[in-house]
Structure 1
């Protein structure tokens, strides 16, 4: 955890309300993370005001500036298109904590998961199960994603270290992290005659679509192809077969974000605040989809 110095934090009378800006509540991971934030904030005597941004730049800037929001004590923001420049020009400065990979270097406290290490471990997990041609479903080009970039980098790092196949045909690009895109990407790969014995997916939603495409192709998971996702959403336990996944330490993530926000909220007006970069770990939840 690294510390820097930031500008003084302004303060006003406490409201007991903290805003949480999330990209998409249709994505199971964000829905589950939001629920955890609500629970843990309540335990601290705080209420969460949920704002969905769809990753849109204008919407993310408005929330950072407090546009359309009631008075709040602070903001936890999961940005997708916000920039450091946008944040330094905030018209409603106050306590703020950034979550995720999009902005990692800035004069603002940041909390994230070690995504690169997570997919490195996921790829190594498949290699330990005997997989040698491990595909990756979830690279983003047309609509870049910092999380996808880090997860792809972790996969490539493990592939090189473990001497696995580096065929570019094993890498599938998606437009969104949805089951539909996972199914499409896997179906196209199989339709082009590409064969793999393992698949690392950028998230669990993509992995659910990959499982469906493999079943449609008459392939048995994990006998023919082992599959692992990322996020360990609740539904992963109930897919067929149950999905192995990289499980971020969401409890540590939420507690760190709330700790850092409350630290800013309790700092006297005008005092300089040390800026922190907190990285939480992840573990492999091994289930039937990789039990070869």
Structure 2
């Protein structure tokens, strides 16, 4: 786990602690967020805290409202997993209590942030497909219509790995999605399978997309991993029980949760007016090879 300090955060005076924190997530239907939320709830319980979970749907206005405490009861702090927040949104917060951002990286931010190295994760995933002999590798998970920093970084890691291997980057093999869901993974991969018969590998921006990709390839008569190897990112539980079991990049979830609460508690326990360094923490991730890439 690496930590970088960028700037200073000045906490404001706080009332008596409530023992309640808020957790803002885009979609609980997305397995990764449901599982991460469960881990955070257990982590809070271990620390004597209760958690109020707010689903934002990734809506910009709703994410701003939550950051400003609109519609929330008195809370000690906020762990926010944003999809569309900007630095400008956060610097205009009307409820400037303790805040920790998880997941999506909001450029160079003056707010504490915990994430994995999304670019490195996708680069490792692509390098793994290259190592098992794939040469025509597609990427499922660009999202230009609703920008996602994580998706951008993961696509950049895929491109970086291909360029390092001196392979051409074929734009027709990069599929856009409207959501990071199995349904979108199925749709996008079906289109690639129909238009590019020589594709022999698929890197998916997350595991849910990859589960949809497995189903689409099966429906198209493409064997996994014999004809096409598939890998995702996130290591959701369902990936272990897919047929075939899905290779993935697994974040260090324990460190992610521990870092989130360490940073939140650091803000909660600081004296009013203290000049706190803002920390950007990068948590490690590792390759988990399974049957979907066992060529």
Q: TM-score, normalised by structure 2?
A: 0.96
Q: Secondary structure at the match of 1:215?
A: helix
The question of 1:243 aligning with 2:266 is answered: no
C-alpha displacement at 1:194, in angstroms?
4.2
Does the 8 Å contact 2:11/2:267 carry over to 1?
A: no
The question of 1:112 aligning with 2:112 is answered: no
Q: Secondary structure at the match of 1:49?
A: strand
Q: Unmatched 5+ residue regions in structure 2?
A: none
C-alpha displacement at 1:261, in angstroms?
0.3
64, 67, 73: which is aligned to 2:67? 64
Match of 1:215 in 2: 218
| Distance of 2:92 and 2:177 partners within structure 1 | 33
Does the 8 Å contact 2:105/2:115 carry over to 1?
A: no
Match of 1:121 in 2: 124
Q: How does 1:79-90 map to 2 (within 5 A)?
A: 79-90=82-93
| RMSD, aligned α-carbons | 1.1
Q: Which whole-Å deviations, capped at 9, do the CAs of 1:184-230 have from their partners, x for residues lacking one?
A: 11111122244211110001111111111111111110011100001
Does the 8 Å contact 1:134/1:164 carry over to 2?
A: no
Match of 2:192 in 1: 189
Q: Which 10-residue stretch deviates more, 268-277 or 30-39?
A: 268-277
Does the 8 Å contact 1:242/1:289 carry over to 2?
A: yes
Q: Which 10-residue stretch deviates more, 273-282 or 6-15?
A: 6-15
Does the 8 Å contact 1:10/1:93 carry over to 2?
A: no
| Distance of 1:93 and 1:208 partners within structure 2 | 39
Match of 2:4 in 1: 2
Does the 8 Å contact 1:135/1:200 carry over to 2?
A: yes
Q: Which 10-residue stretch deviates more, 10-19 or 31-40?
A: 10-19
Match of 2:163 in 1: 160
Q: Secondary structure at the match of 1:160?
A: helix
Match of 2:231 in 1: 228
| Distance of 1:194 and 1:164 partners within structure 2 | 18
The question of 1:255 aligning with 2:225 is answered: no
3, 22, 28: which is aligned to 1:19? 22
Q: Unmatched 5+ residue regions in structure 1?
A: none
Q: TM-score, normalised by structure 1?
A: 0.97
| Distance of 1:111 and 1:175 partners within structure 2 | 25
Match of 1:177 in 2: 180
139, 150, 163: which is aligned to 1:147? 150
